[in-house]
Amino acid sequence: MIEFNVKLKNLSGKKAHVWQRISALYLLLYIPFLAWTVLQQPKFHTLYALAHNLAEPIFSLASLIALGFILVHAWVGLRDIMIDYLPRKNLALWLTIYHSLLALLLINSLWLVVTLFGTL
């Protein structure tokens, strides 16, 4: 079960540091790959046609991993900014809200992926 109640004392230092760097490195490689793949596409008139063409396994898998890493990178980056700047009194509450928002984004993104590619 996902732990939504974020406690400051349970937050990781080293693990977050490592994941942020791994995700940054992956996105550094993925973004040019994404640009190159999109530029290779012919003109499409519908989103369905574009999605159909992009649904090849390598690109889909790379994009799913990138989506996960974007969320990881965003979590660590904004989490650290919140720890620095937000008043400590309500910090755990704000971190929990932010954590929940990212979890919702993940679920929503997965739903979008299934909707777009599941029927192809």
Partner 1 sequence: MQFIISRYNPQIDKDPYNQTFELDNTLLSADNMLLDALHLLREQDPSLAYRSSCQEGVCGSDGMNVNGRNRLSCITPLSDLPQKVIIKPMPGLPIIKDLIIDMDLFYQQYKDVEPFLQSEPLDLQHEHLQSPEERAKLDGSYECILCGCCSTSCPSFWWNPDQFAGPAALLAASRFVIDSRDIQTIDRLKDLDSPTQTFRCRHIQNCTDSCPKGLNPSRAIQELKSTMVKEI
**In a 3-state reduction of DSSP, which class is residue 119?**
coil
Among 1, 46, 85, 118, indicate the residue that binds partner 1 (CB under 8 A): 85
Is 13 a binding residue for partner 1 by CB under 8 A? The answer is yes
Q: In whole angstroms, what is the distance from residue 6 CA to residue 94 CA?
A: 9
The interface region with partner 1, picked from 11-19, 37-45, 47-55, 99-107 by CB under 8 A, is 11-19
Rg value, the chain, Cα: 17
| Phi, psi for residue 112 in degrees, rounded to 5 | -65, -45
Is 87 a binding residue for partner 1 by CB under 8 A? The answer is no
Applying CB under 8 A, the residues found at the interface with partner 1 are 8, 11-14, 16-18, 79-80, 83-85, 88
